[in-house]
Structure 1
Amino acid sequence: MFNEFEKRLFSSAILIPTTFFFIIQGSFLFIIFLSSIFLLTSYEWFKMIKKNNLLKILGITFLMFSFYAAFKFREDNNFKDFLFIIIICVLTDVGGYIFGKLFKGPKLTKISPKKTYAGVFGGFLFSLIAGLFVYEYKYIDLFLYNGFYFFIIILFISLISQIGDLIISYFKRKAKIKDTGKILPGHGGLLDRIDGMIFVFPICYLITIS
C-alpha cells in the first residue's frame, strides 16, 4: 500500500511532464489543456460550495478570469516565463510541506491546522533558491532587469500562492472536507493542486500589462 508521500511522487511524475508538454506546445493544445482544467476545477468548486449559489457564481467568475489571465500570460510571454511562475508556486508548496513535516512548530492559523510558520519559511526559502538559479543563468526574460525587484517578485508570488492555499483551505473547512476531489492520488483534487496558482496568475498578468 502506497503511503501519502509515495502517492504524491507518483502523481507528480505523471502530472509535471504532462503539464510542461502542453505549456511548451502552446496554441490550440494549450487552450484544450486549460479548458479541461477549468471545467474540472469548476466542478470541484460546485461540489464544495453546494447550496450557496452566490458563492458558486463568484467562484466560477473568478476561475474564468484566472484561467483567462493564465492563457494571456502564456500567449504574451515566453513559455519559460510561464513555467517559472508555476515552479515558484510548486516549490512554495514543496518547501512548506517539507519544513512543516521536519520542524513542525507553532500553527499558522486554525483555517488550515497543518500549516505552520516553519512551513511558511520553507515555502519562501525554496522559491528563493529556485530564483537564484534562474537569475544566475538567465533562464527567463521576465522580471530580470533588476536583481532586487526580481527577488521581491519571487517573494510576492510565493506569498500570494500561500494566501491562495489558505483561501481554498477556508472553504474546504467550511464544507467539512479534506480535499476538493480525488483525481490526483496524494494531492486530492485539481483545485487542491492549483489553489495558489489561480490567485498568482491574475496578479502576474496585471503586473505585466501595467
Structure 2
Amino acid sequence: MSNLNKRILTAFPLSILAVYAIYNNVILTLSLYIISAILIFEISNILKNIFKRNKINSFIFLNLFILYICLFATQIYFFLSDESENKQTVFLFILSICIFTDIGGYIFGKTLKGKKITSISPNKTYAGMVGSFVCSLIISIIFISYFNLSINLVFFTFLISLISQLGDLFISYLKRKADIKDTGNFLPGHGGLLDRMDGMIFAIPIGIKIFVFF
C-alpha cells in the first residue's frame, strides 16, 4: 500500500472523530486529553535527542511545551463549549484550512517537486508551498459560499495557512536537530501525531484568537 493510501485511510476515521468531538463535549474532552498526552510524549523524545548531554535544558523546554499544549487544549475546549453561535463552523473552518494546507503541500510537492525552500526540511518545496495556499483557498471558498461567510476571510485563510506552514517548518527543524525522521509511528502513513499536528498547534490558537477579538 502506498504512503498516500495509508494517509487517506488514516485520515478518514480521524476526520470523523474530529467532527464528533466538535459537537460532543464528552468526546471532545477525552480527545483533548489523549491528543495532549501523545504530543507531550513525542516532543519529550525529540528533546531527549536534542539535549542528550543537558537534561536541565531538556526538562525546561519540555515543561514549556507542556504548558503550551495545556493552553492549546484548554483554549479549544472553552471555545467549543461556549454558547456563541457558529463556533463549531468557525473551528471546522480553521481546522480545514490547516488540513488542506498539509494536503496541498504534500500533493503539489510530490507531484511537481522543484526547488527546495530550505535545508531544514528537504521535502519542503516552493511548489508545495503554493499548493498549500491553493488548496486552503479552495476549501475556504467552499466554506464561505456554503455558510455565507464574509469574503474577507480569504485573507484570514492565507494567514492561517502561512502560520500552519511555519509551524510545520519549526517542528521539522526540531526533528532535524534530534536527527529523527518522524516523531513517532502512531499514525500509519503519517508518522507521529505531532507530524500531522505540527502546523495545527500553532495555527488553531491564533485563528481562534483572531475570531474572538476581531
Q: Does 1:192 align with 2:195?
A: yes
| 1:40 counterpart SS class | helix
> What displacement does 1:23 show?
1.6
Could you tell me which amino acid in structure 2 is paired with residue 173 of structure 1?
R
Could you tell me which amino acid in structure 2 is paired with residue 124 of structure 1?
F
Q: Distance in 2 between matches of 1:12 and 1:155?
A: 23
**How does the TM-score come out when normalised to structure 2?**
0.89
> What displacement does 1:6 show?
1.9
Structure 1 equivalent of residue 147 of structure 2: 138
Q: Distance in 1 between matches of 2:153 and 2:2?
A: 38
Gaps of 5+ in 1: none
Q: Distance in 2 between matches of 1:73 and 1:124?
A: 26
| 2:181 counterpart SS class | coil
| 1:37 counterpart SS class | helix
Structure 1 equivalent of residue 51 of structure 2: none
Q: Does 1:203 align with 2:206?
A: yes
Q: 1:102 pairs with 103, 108, 111, which one?
A: 111
Report matched runs for 1:25-64 at 5 Å.
Answer: 25=24, 27-50=25-48, 51=55, 52-64=58-70
Which shows bigger deviation, 59-68 or 30-39?
59-68
1:80-99 CA-to-partner distances (Å, cap 9, x unmatched) read 22111111101000000011
Structure 1 equivalent of residue 179 of structure 2: 176
| 1:85 counterpart SS class | helix
Q: Return structure 1 stretches of 4+ with deviation > 3 angstroms.
A: none
CA contact 1:99–1:118 (8 Å) conserved in 2? yes
Q: Does 1:128 align with 2:137?
A: yes
Structure 2 equivalent of residue 16 of structure 1: 15
Q: Distance in 1 between matches of 2:193 and 2:211?
A: 26
RMSD, aligned CA: 1.4
| 2:70 counterpart SS class | helix
Q: Distance in 2 between matches of 1:137 and 1:11?
A: 27
| 1:185 counterpart SS class | coil
> What displacement does 1:64 show?
1.4
Could you tell me which amino acid in structure 1 is paired with residue 72 of structure 2?
S
Could you tell me which amino acid in structure 2 is paired with residue 62 of structure 1?
Y
**How does the TM-score come out when normalised to structure 1?**
0.91
> What displacement does 1:106 show?
0.7
Could you tell me which amino acid in structure 2 is paired with residue 117 of structure 1?
Y
> What displacement does 1:58 show?
1.5
Gaps of 5+ in 2: 49-54
Could you tell me which amino acid in structure 1 is paired with residue 104 of structure 2?
G
CA contact 1:69–1:201 (8 Å) conserved in 2? no
% identical aligned pairs = 43
Q: Distance in 1 between matches of 2:76 and 2:166?
A: 18
Q: 1:167 pairs with 150, 162, 170, which one?
A: 170
| 2:123 counterpart SS class | coil
- The change in CA–CA distance for 1:121 and 1:189 in structure 2 (over 3 A counts) is same
Could you tell me which amino acid in structure 1 is paired with residue 128 of structure 2?
G
Q: Distance in 1 between matches of 2:191 and 2:19?
A: 20
> What displacement does 1:3 show?
2.3
